[in-house]
Structure 1
């Protein structure tokens, strides 16, 4: 498949990740925030990883969003085990460290199941053995990293990686860099904002969206019956919140409009992009409109309060009740703590709300709060 590459950005970012100045906090990890579906994961796999490998790093890539049913801590451990399994020398090192001098690789005496959280071989020891055996800096890329703090094992995995980072970045080893990405800046910040977090103080930066070079590449390859003006498409792309899939879907719609005259292509493409935006927004709001009155009230108050949301405080309970009353003055729904807990659980199951293991809640898709505000759905929140 033809993929748009951002080689200059990848090279610049790889340099910053691998070559950390003594006074820099980048050794604590690097956190990149970008909205979902804006090309971040494609960049990580197609550009950053190859560039890091070109510069001599060993890259381990973990996507915590790939299987949302799996515990994020287990996903991280399994990714490390998978990389270890590719290096026979590392397995022998770990076997010897476990007191098995005569182990044969592939035998039953030593299993990589011993590597992990609370197991016989820590992640720190395993990654140190991997770095020493390969004589390479290890870069662990964790995509959708905010998902790690939704479980206790995920939290444990982050602290295990911190211990590994501290050990591997000492003078005895080649080094470990952790690059964490996320689709919500506020949620990603929870991994590095407070002193009780594993990556406290690590840089958090906004990942740059695709720009005019991508739009020019798209216009060259779109293959419609008439060319598209990159300047016009750039405006449409900005309006589409820099989501490439919306441009692609609009182009696909035109390809199947048989009999479309070439002179009508530019105007029809602009209309098709708007249709894709509207369809995406309507799909989000369709789920919102299917909620029970209390679920809708809880979601609205969370969307309005944002980072200041305290789900069970008295003032928040009063806000839920006010929204319920505004929607149905004669209604009997009551916003007590048990009912709110059930509403929050239902919102999580509908993938509208995200919860950290320590009880902090946030809107799953930041764009949903903006859309609810635009449509006037938050007007009744005090």
Structure 2
């Protein structure tokens, strides 16, 4: 039995139209970036609603999930998405094989391998996507989930620039168009792909993905199948408190379902208690990690959180802020001297603890914005601006 999902067809149709039919003056042809916090339904929407809407509008949709297996280089994941789409149709393979100089093609035989497609391979991504476009006579939409992960490796960066070249070629009048849709759980990290001229998708549209709303809660409450009905208005307030994360509501409902002694009359209060406990537990381990940091590690992440996009780890003013953060923690300058090697080691340790994220070109960012919120809630960011 398949899982019952909440669908957002109106939002999917609207987004599909904006992606496919680029308005005059719009930058959507450069790429569309959808940002939303992790675990708020973004990926489910992309797979289950947006992809079918784009296909219904006549597009060929390629999907690359860079978060599914972090042991795979993101560049290879993107290349595999293109290979998979090409491999679906014999006509594409024939066209590609001939473009690579093969006069005779045995489809399904050993004469042509999809491994020929890729970065630095016989057939580059532009050639592969042009063949796909010309053979199908359709717009191609490549959806990249957790796209910011691409800029953590040189292969991933190379894949993005290869896609830029393909996009520029396919969006010319000779072909049928290529749209790149990138989703990400951290707006600041996602913005690194399009905020500067040396990035592949400079100027692409950044959209704050809409959170699930009262309609979702109404649907959820109608389908929870608990011994006592929940008030959708009250559940929605609880949903907002817990960061719009559906998993927390589902986990609370499961705990009630498997409690065979619960009094139905107490279910609404118990549901509220469980959701709040789930939310607290979600951040409990993160708080423990933050409070176990060494003084210099704590100073570095506090300063990084305050500086945001303007964080420059080794500049003199930043080094002075580290010293100030240490002083606020009661650490005298004679105890810990702030020097570049110590900051470098702290940054490495913070990456290993999954508190800090690093792009391949040496730009750092706090891994999730909730870390900044927790530091601020504990009063650890004051006086460091």
Once the 2 structures are TM-superposed, how far is the Cα of residue 253 of structure 1 from its aligned partner?
Answer: 2.2
List aligned pairs for 1:56-67, cutoff 5 A: 56-67=58-69
List aligned pairs for 1:243-322, cutoff 5 A: 243-322=245-324
- TM-score computed with the length of structure 1 as normaliser: 0.96
The residue number in structure 1 matching 2:28 is: 26
Once the 2 structures are TM-superposed, how far is the Cα of residue 93 of structure 1 from its aligned partner?
Answer: 1.1
Once the 2 structures are TM-superposed, how far is the Cα of residue 328 of structure 1 from its aligned partner?
Answer: 4.6
Distance 1:372 1:223 in 2: 39
Distance 1:287 1:243 in 2: 22
- TM-score computed with the length of structure 2 as normaliser: 0.95
The residue number in structure 2 matching 1:339 is: 342
Name the SS of the counterpart of 2:194 in structure 1: coil
Structure 2: stretches of 5+ with no match in the other structure: none
Distance 2:17 2:287 in 1: 42
Query: 105-114 vs 216-225, which deviates more?
Result: 105-114
Distance 1:113 1:258 in 2: 55
Name the SS of the counterpart of 2:34 in structure 1: strand
Once the 2 structures are TM-superposed, how far is the Cα of residue 274 of structure 1 from its aligned partner?
Answer: 1.0
Once the 2 structures are TM-superposed, how far is the Cα of residue 290 of structure 1 from its aligned partner?
Answer: 2.6
What is the number of residues matched between the two proteins?
382
1:329–1:27 Cα change, 3 Å: closer
Once the 2 structures are TM-superposed, how far is the Cα of residue 381 of structure 1 from its aligned partner?
Answer: 4.2
| Residue 133 (str. 1) matches residue 153 (str. 2) | no
List aligned pairs for 1:362-377, cutoff 5 A: 362-377=365-380
Given candidates 151, 154, 165, the residue that maps to 1:152 is 154
| Residue 70 (str. 1) matches residue 72 (str. 2) | yes
1:318–1:212 Cα change, 3 Å: same
CA deviation profile, 1:189-216 (whole Å, cap 9, x unmatched): 1111212221111111111000000000
Distance 1:310 1:244 in 2: 36
Distance 1:213 1:226 in 2: 20
Distance 1:320 1:182 in 2: 30
Distance 2:367 2:14 in 1: 31
Query: 256-265 vs 176-185, which deviates more?
Result: 256-265
Q: CA RMSD in A?
A: 1.6
List aligned pairs for 1:160-179, cutoff 5 A: 160-179=162-181
Structure 1: stretches of 5+ with no match in the other structure: none
Name the SS of the counterpart of 1:181 in structure 2: strand
Name the SS of the counterpart of 2:22 in structure 1: coil
The residue number in structure 1 matching 2:325 is: 323
